[in-house]
Amino acid sequence: MKLGRRKTIIGGIVGAGFVGVGWWFAQERDRLGGAKLFNIKPGEAGLNGWVKITRDDKVVVAVPRAEMGQGVHTALAMLVAEEMEARWDQVRVEDPPVDAVYRNVDILMDALPFSPEESGTVVDAAHWVAGKLGGVLGVLATGGSTAVRDAFTPMRLAGAVARDLLIRAASRKAGIPEAELVAADGEIRRRDGTKVATFGELVDSVGDLAVRPPPPLKPPSLFKLIGKDLPRVDIPAKVMGTATFGTDVRLPDMLYAAVRNAPTFGGWAAGFEINKVKPPEGFVKFVVVPGGIACIAKSWWLANKFIDVGVKPDWRAGPEPRLDSATLWQRYEQLLASGKLALTRTLGTETKPANAQIVEATYRAPYLAHTPMEPMNCTALVGKETVEVWMPNQSPTIVRLAASKVAGVAQADVLVHTTFLGGGFGRRAEVDLVQQAVTCALAVTGKPVQVLWSREEDIRHDYYRPMALARWRAEIDTSGPAPRLASVTKRQVAQSPADQFPARAAGLPAQGKPEGNAVENPAYGFPFYRLEAIVAEGSVPVGFWRSVGHSHGAFFDESFIDELALALKADPYEFRRTLLAGQPRHLKVLETAALKAGWGRPLPAGSGRGIAMRASFGSIVAQVAQVSVADKQIRVERVTCAVDCGPVIHPGIVRAQMESGIVYGLSAALNGEITLADGAVQQSNFPDYDAVRLADAPTMDVHLVDSGASTLGGVGEPGTPPIAPAVANAVFAATGQRLRALPLRLA
């Protein structure tokens, strides 16, 4: 394999990592934390940094990952409860403090430009350093479908250690040898089942016990909770209306701020002139904030109305004030033809056939906005010595860093409260609203200010999924009695969120590397494969969007696989099976989706089936879309999904996340497109940036595939990538028209 520029990139990471890590070697036990770490209150006893018990017999689990509807509160609490032998009805969850114990290491590893199956000196060293650096940095973050993968071992260890402490406490209190005691159903019992003490009765008996090395973890054959569809812990509060989202935050003397961001990317307000109009009662002041201007008032509606009539900002344009989409596509086409390669990779041995048929296709994917249902918001309070932030966010570590910089205080003096998230999708990992909220709070010291963006501001000032351009080229050997595939080459152009995000969030220098999961190796056994990746620069800000590089990479790759099958006169499903002969897990997922969808069964005229598969975030997903086409309108009737995510923690959550990913990806495939004119986004709200509505949602069947794999895969993002190519391939089957650009529109 040729690594090209990637050797330099990773060499820099490894070198910096060794300097930063030094002698530090984190073991899993270092992630347990002390017994007093987890916000211990009267009537509670901490067992380690992840779990505490209460006098009224509750088991409280620290969940340091953001709950944005994906069920992470439930899944992570199950890990502790399983090893602790707690009853599910006694389990509660709380947000822990911002501490390195709760770091997410896997999310850093996923950002590296490697495929999951790659190994070797450079790859292994980079993974080692990323793991150690994750411990040094101590970043709390939710994203990349890593929440359960990262916490699977430490949270189970925390539960096992807690169980051990409770058994020892009961042994000492009751005078019974430890060997005669077990934990079961939230109690400590004799081995004959006789109750000795409930967990709550041991609150005063565990404080002075030293922590021993963790006991062995339970084998899967003894699991009682993991693998079950348990009631989700976040649902009751959401159903009863008591759940606190960011927009629900209400504090004494709270003020509200509406914002207008600079019209063009990279622009700002150099100042403002107050118009000669009478301010309404409740108006407080105008404030220049990073990227724009804010109006602070006693209600958001008042602020949002008055900002358009009460002030004239002195706008300064960004670096490309006349930029438009047509110009950008021309720029990308030039880069595709002659741009500098940021990464080159080859797999297999290249041979040149005597006679060859060339198959070539170019695919496009536009910028996409995130559009979470809960509007973007952040509340900040600046006191005399401290700063508090209430926000639906995906990384309290980064929120704290941003707030400390704006307020000019130490990070230790910033307290972050993470609320429920009304959708995240990567957008709530950004800190632009933190910067604006803290700036507003500094202007009215001692009073909390809630910054709330309108939907128009959200869509026009997002950190977008990158637009991307890719050209696939294949050589088919026609020298023999039957044509056969000889080689494939993929060349792609896109901006890199992996470059932009660290620069925005932490001031780290850009490395010019492509997004890691946009350059993963294909699962298919091509005789020869070449990847050429070009990182585009540009003024349009890009960020992490659900499934990131896989979201457009799957469309490019799986569309071309269908085109290859057509050129070779093969069935698209059977052709994939041939290419997956050496990948039994992938093959089983593909076959399950095809079988359950009734692949090959006849359909009415104007209908078609399309298939696509993508391995991402440690999971493998295949989908078959069934569509009907009438009057140039595409209707997706049914989607059959098969997923292998390794051991399943909560089957219902896996199914729900696959369905969620399908609908999110389908909304983008059919409607999603951010276009530019005069340096600004043209779309503004759901009428021109629509989503799939309930009436138009397809019937969805999700099938969990058990391949016996022992490693966990993610489920929050892998359901999204296959849907766009599956629908595009189905449209071709129904109409004979090949759609190579997103969103999918028939001519």
| pLDDT computed for residue 267 by the predictor | 96
- Residue 111 counted as domain residue: no
- Residue 649 counted as domain residue: yes
Length of the chain: 747
Domain check: are 438 and 559 in the same one? no
Rounded CA separation 133/16 (Å): 9
Give the side-chain half-sphere CA count within 13 A for 661: 35
Give the side-chain half-sphere CA count within 13 A for 162: 38
Domain check: are 610 and 673 in the same one? yes
Domain check: are 605 and 477 in the same one? yes
Would you call the peptide bond into 743 cis, given omega within 30 degrees of 0 as the criterion?
Answer: yes
**Residue 201 clears pLDDT 60, i.e. is over it:** yes
Domain check: are 347 and 468 in the same one? yes
Domain check: are 611 and 498 in the same one? yes
**Residue 735 clears pLDDT 70, i.e. is over it:** yes
- Residue 81 counted as domain residue: yes
Radius of gyration of the chain (CA): 27
Range(s) of the domain holding residue 419 = 249-318+376-452
617: left (phi over 0), alpha (psi -120 to 50) or beta: left
**pLDDT, tens digit, 9 for 90 and up, residues 709-726:** 999 999 999 999 999 999
- Residue 128 counted as domain residue: no
Domain check: are 171 and 314 in the same one? no
| pLDDT computed for residue 109 by the predictor | 62
**643 within 8 A of 619, measured Cβ to Cβ:** yes
**575 within 8 A of 582, measured Cβ to Cβ:** no
| pLDDT computed for residue 124 by the predictor | 62
Average pLDDT over residues 245-269: 97
Domain check: are 224 and 262 in the same one? no
- Residue 123's pLDDT band (cuts 50, 70, 90): low
| pLDDT computed for residue 283 by the predictor | 98
712: left (phi over 0), alpha (psi -120 to 50) or beta: beta
Domain check: are 42 and 151 in the same one? yes
Tell me if residue 552 falls in helix, strand or coil.
helix
Tell me if residue 368 falls in helix, strand or coil.
strand
- Residue 677 counted as domain residue: yes
Give the side-chain half-sphere CA count within 13 A for 250: 6
Number of domains into which the chain is organized: 3
Token couple for 615: 């391995």
- Residue 16 counted as domain residue: no
Q: Which residues pair with 484 in a beta bridge?
A: 477
- Residue 126's pLDDT band (cuts 50, 70, 90): low
Distance between first and last Cα of the chain: 41
**298 within 8 A of 256, measured Cβ to Cβ:** yes
132: exposed, middle or buried (Cβ count in 10 Å: 0-12, 13-18, 19+)? buried
Average pLDDT, the chain: 93
| pLDDT computed for residue 339 by the predictor | 97
| pLDDT computed for residue 79 by the predictor | 98
**Residue 419 clears pLDDT 70, i.e. is over it:** yes
> What DSSP letter does each residue of 126-152 carry, written as one string?
HHHHHHHHHHHHT-----TT-HHHHHH
pTM of the predicted model as reported, rounded to 2 decimal places: 0.93
- Residue 118's pLDDT band (cuts 50, 70, 90): low
Rounded CA separation 370/378 (Å): 17
Domain check: are 522 and 557 in the same one? yes
Looking at 104-113, 451-460, 583-592, 601-610, which range is the least confident one?
104-113
| pLDDT computed for residue 673 by the predictor | 98
Rounded CA separation 509/540 (Å): 18
Q: Which residues pair with 627 in a beta bridge?
A: 608, 636
Phi and psi of 297, rounded to 5°? -150, 180
User: Among residues 452, 484, 509, which one ends one of the domains?
Assistant: 452
Helices (H), 408-452: 432-443
Tell me if residue 81 falls in helix, strand or coil.
helix
Q: What angle do CA 463, 95, 93 make, to 5 degrees?
A: 125
- Residue 741 counted as domain residue: no
- What is the pairing mode between strands 356-365 and 343-348? unpaired
| pLDDT computed for residue 139 by the predictor | 87
In this structure, is the dihedral angle defined by the CA atoms of residues 127, 130, 136 and 140, taken in order, positive or negative? negative
Domain check: are 539 and 660 in the same one? yes
Eight-class DSSP state of 234 = T
| pLDDT computed for residue 701 by the predictor | 98
**pLDDT, tens digit, 9 for 90 and up, residues 10-48:** 344 333 333 334 333 444 447 899 999 999 999 999 999
- Residue 17 counted as domain residue: no
**Residue 741 clears pLDDT 70, i.e. is over it:** yes
| pLDDT computed for residue 506 by the predictor | 84
**718 within 8 A of 644, measured Cβ to Cβ:** no
Rounded CA separation 603/610 (Å): 12
679: left (phi over 0), alpha (psi -120 to 50) or beta: left
| pLDDT computed for residue 131 by the predictor | 54
**pLDDT, tens digit, 9 for 90 and up, residues 490-523:** 999 999 999 999 888 888 888 899 998 899 999 9
User: Among residues 433, 452, 471, which one ends one of the domains?
Assistant: 452
Domain check: are 355 and 442 in the same one? no
User: Could you tell me which of 272, 312, 290 has the C-alpha nearest to residue 378?
Assistant: 290
Looking at 125-139, 289-303, 539-553, which range is the least confident one?
125-139
321: exposed, middle or buried (Cβ count in 10 Å: 0-12, 13-18, 19+)? middle
Q: Which residues pair with 449 in a beta bridge?
A: 255, 380
CATH of the domain at 90: 3.30.365.10
**Residue 152 clears pLDDT 60, i.e. is over it:** yes
User: Among residues 452, 475, 508, which one ends one of the domains?
Assistant: 452
**531 within 8 A of 345, measured Cβ to Cβ:** yes
Rounded CA separation 186/92 (Å): 13
Domain check: are 203 and 313 in the same one? no
More confident residue, 746 or 108: 746
Eight-class DSSP state of 210 = P
Looking at 105-109, 404-408, 414-418, which range is the least confident one?
105-109
User: Could you tell me which of 465, 501, 231, 238 has the C-alpha nearest to residue 374?
Assistant: 238
* Percentages (nearest 5) of helix, strand, coil residues in the chain: 35, 25, 40
